[in-house]
């Protein structure tokens, strides 16, 4: 099987429930995505995706399109089933830009699964979780609005929730304690300041909420500032933004910097990289959160396959991007009532609605 061409569809998702607020006043009114079709001489098509979020991730929409234009000639003619060889070739042609390579990487995994007539969850090690519990996010807002949103998520069936904070530290304490009135019914509650607090602010907040059963996620910006907070608290501690490569993950582990690792595909260059990160964490006995910043069914299905192939005891939460966006570009992924299943069909197991994607850029 040989790659004969690449089609790139720019696509924009909008967040459910209006603009999404993160710490530091960052607001997202939409997420620009590149959906990639890798065509082959066998008649099979592999699908991949990257969604950029430049205020959050090292990623730029136009950068992804330019990178894909640069990469396409290098991988045309290659057998996509040799996913590692394709990644080696991409890395030889372009240093970095893992977020753009992610779309090709996922499409090659999709083709490998289709060629083998096996779902990705089997290729990634086998199904360890038939059904996944799916996280939802309470975006930053007034404390009462956040509690009401948390109630909605509980009523909809979610049992994992993440609370976004990261403003004035006293107001954040009020946000957390107010949302907790609702969130204490959930199985897993994470408070995520998305790098915003200073170590002092983080310590003040965590002291004020010390009796709550919560995980704390990436309260500060650098590895060292997070370490100083981790050593002053007994809350289960998740690193996310600081884990932007396998090297960073190994270093954080060597410093005992986290109880659980937030693994986003875009930071590890796609499914291949995040699978390596997942396998390292499982070997260390450290649980993971598996997700990505945005996107639609292609990224959500990839996430579901990786989560399904991870032992349940090593998964803190699974977050599927389809939970947060209005648009749908494929069928085949079951996700409703706070539960999801990795598709059973070959590869990603998705049926892409090409008519919804518009006109592609051919590369």
264 as an active site residue: the answer is yes
Please state the length of the chain: 363
16 as an active site residue: the answer is no
Verify binding: residue 110, Mg ion, rule CB under 5 A: no
- Classified as helix, coil or strand, 43 is coil
> Of the two residues 180 and 196, which places its CB atom closer to Mg ion in the complex?
196
Which of 114, 164, 275, 341 is catalytic? The answer is 164
Q: What are phi and psi of 28, to 5 degrees?
A: -120, 115
What sections of 94-214 are H helices per DSSP? 98-116, 120-123, 143-155, 169-183, 199-208
Name which of residues 195 to 224 contact Mg ion (CB under 5 A): 217
- What does the block give as tokens for 175? 């946000």
Verify binding: residue 292, Mg ion, rule CB under 5 A: no
Binding range to Mg ion, per CB under 5 A, among 94-102, 191-199, 242-250, 330-338: 191-199
> Of the two residues 195 and 272, which places its CB atom closer to Mg ion in the complex?
195
**Nearest distance from residue 239's CB to Mg ion, in Å?**
9
**Nearest distance from residue 96's CB to Mg ion, in Å?**
22
Which of 79, 105, 110, 192 is the binder for Mg ion (CB under 5 A)?
A: 192
Which of 240, 291, 292, 297 is the binder for Mg ion (CB under 5 A)?
A: 240
Are the C-beta atoms of residues 239 and 262 closer than 8 Å to each other? yes
- What does the block give as tokens for 43? 């008649």
**What is the Cβ-side half-sphere exposure of residue 305, based on CA atoms within 13 angstroms?**
32
Q: Within 10 Å of residue 344's Cβ, how many Cβ atoms?
A: 12
Which of 101, 114, 139, 264 is catalytic? The answer is 264
Residue 108 gets the label, from left (phi > 0), alpha (psi -120 to 50) or beta, of: alpha
- What does the block give as tokens for 327? 């648009």
How many residues in the shown chain lie near Mg ion by CB under 5 A? 3
> Of the two residues 36 and 274, which places its CB atom closer to Mg ion in the complex?
274
Are the C-beta atoms of residues 199 and 231 closer than 8 Å to each other? no
Binding range to Mg ion, per CB under 5 A, among 33-41, 65-73, 184-192, 228-236: 184-192
**Nearest distance from residue 305's CB to Mg ion, in Å?**
21
The catalytic residue positions are 164, 264
Binding site residues, Mg ion, CB under 5 A = 192, 217, 240
């Amino acid at each position: 099987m040989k790659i004969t061409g690449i089609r790139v569809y720019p696509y924009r998702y909008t967040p459910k429930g209006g603009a999404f607020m993160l710490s530091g006043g960052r607001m997202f009114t939409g997420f620009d995505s590149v959906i990639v079709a890798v065509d082959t001489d066998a008649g099979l098509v592999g699908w991949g995706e990257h969604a950029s979020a430049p205020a959050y991730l090292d990623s730029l929409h136009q950068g992804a399109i330019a990178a894909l234009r640069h990469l396409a000639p290098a991988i045309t003619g290659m057998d996509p089933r040799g996913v590692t060889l394709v990644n080696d070739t991409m890395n030889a042609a372009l240093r970095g830009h893992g977020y753009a390579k992610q779309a090709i990487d996922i499409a090659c995994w999709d083709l490998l699964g289709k060629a083998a007539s096996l779902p990705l969850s089997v290729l990634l090690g086998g199904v360890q979780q038939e059904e996944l519990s799916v996280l939802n996010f309470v975006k930053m807002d007034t404390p009462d609005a956040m509690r009401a949103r948390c109630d909605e998520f509980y009523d909809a069936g979610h049992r994992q929730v993440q609370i976004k904070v990261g403003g004035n530290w006293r107001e954040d304490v009020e946000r957390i304690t107010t949302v907790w009135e609702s969130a204490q019914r959930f199985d897993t509650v994470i408070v995520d300041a998305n790098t915003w607090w200073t170590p002092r602010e983080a310590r003040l907040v965590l002291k004020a909420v010390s009796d709550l059963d919560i995980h704390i996620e990436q309260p500060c910006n650098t590895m060292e500032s997070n370490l100083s907070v981790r050593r002053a608290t007994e809350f289960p501690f998740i690193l996310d933004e600081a884990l932007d490569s396998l090297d960073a993950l190994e270093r954080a582990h060597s410093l005992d910097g986290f109880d659980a690792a937030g693994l986003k595909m875009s930071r590890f260059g796609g499914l291949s990289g995040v699978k390596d990160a997942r396998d390292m964490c499982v070997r260390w006995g450290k649980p993971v959160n598996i997700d990505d910043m945005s996107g639609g069914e292609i990224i959500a299905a990839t996430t579901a396959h990786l989560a399904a192939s991870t032992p349940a005891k090593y998964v803190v939460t699974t977050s599927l991007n389809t939970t947060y966006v209005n648009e749908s570009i494929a069928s085949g992924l079951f996700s409703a009532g706070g539960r999801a299943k990795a598709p059973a069909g070959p590869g990603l197991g998705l049926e892409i609605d090409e008519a919804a994607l518009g006109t592609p850029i051919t590369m």
